[in-house]
Amino acid sequence: MMTIYEIEHQQRQAARRSQKLGLEPFIITQEHKDAGDIMAVGKKIPNVGTRTPKGWRRIDPREWFNGRERGVYEGGFLVDSSGMGGEHEPALTPQQFLELAKPDYGYAIIEVGQFQIHIGVFEPTGGKRVDPERVATVAKVERSKLEAKIEHLVEKLERRKTIPLRAAGDCFFCQGVVTSIRTGQTLEPSACSCLKGHVEEGYLNGSLIRNALIWARVGDTRLATKAEAVDALRRYLRHHLGFTEEGTANA
């Protein structure tokens, strides 16, 4: 279980990282809502942590619903990130969030907890307009760095003498998504965000590798070779973090 101190520390780190990369809230349009593809939208919502990007201000979405809507609180939305949340629980499912999100506003993760994430709502100030070219350039740089970190984590496994085994202290999300992987379901955006966090931190754990081997259809994961584990981990991470086999990120 994450402590409040760990959550606050992670969000301060996210704020510094987002400032360095020049990340800004992602604007959800009516086209995004009509398409209903929360996976595509979820991958584009950045984590800005405790930071309010220059040229933006936080707003209270409760006024959109007269203060009476489950999962909506002062400054944002409470969204399930475990991949196991129900439609009637306090936190919204990712799909419910997309349905409630008002188009043409900016959205960014402001806090990541053990089971939920808080998504803040932002609007431009002072007539600010988003520069699509700058956003695209920043995104390209960010994705390039993420791709390099995927290889760094894979190399970390290659350097180990043995394959790490699944343990009770492994990441909660990695332990919980195995059913979805076995049944061929698409991982929730929150689970993909979890994978991105592991890559950013260089966190290797047995449950992550087990999931990669299951996803890669390796027969008995307990008998997998180091080469099979390395290949499975690389393909698993690249696939769920939006990279094609050719090494470029999906738009």
From residue 115, give the alpha-carbon distance in Å to each of 2, 50, 84, 107, 163.
10, 19, 9, 19, 28
**Nearest in space to 79 (alpha carbons), one of 161, 179, 190:** 190
> Cα–Cα distance between 128 and 79 in angstroms, integer?
28
pLDDT for residue 236 = 92
Q: What is the pLDDT of residues 210-249, one digit of tens each?
A: 999 999 888 787 889 999 999 999 999 998 888 865 333 4
Q: Is the pLDDT of residue 190 over 60?
A: no
> Cα–Cα distance between 146 and 235 in angstroms, integer?
14
From residue 142, give the alpha-carbon distance in Å to each of 17, 191, 225.
10, 19, 32
> Cα–Cα distance between 168 and 175 in angstroms, integer?
8
Q: What is the pLDDT of residues 62-86, one digit of tens each?
A: 888 876 778 888 778 998 877 666 6
Q: Mean per-residue pLDDT for 182-189?
A: 63
pTM, two decimals, is 0.53
Could you give the 3-state DSSP secondary structure of residue 119? strand
> Cα–Cα distance between 53 and 241 in angstroms, integer?
24
- Exposed / middle / buried, residue 188 (Cβ in 10 Å: 0-12, 13-18, 19+): buried
Share of the chain above pLDDT 90, in %: 24
* Angle, alpha carbons 237-240-244 (nearest 5°): 85
Contacts of 102 (CB under 8 A, 6+ apart): 28, 61, 64, 121
pLDDT for residue 140 = 76
Q: What is the pLDDT of residues 11-31, one digit of tens each?
A: 778 788 888 888 888 888 888
Lowest-confidence region among 6-15, 187-196, 202-211? 187-196
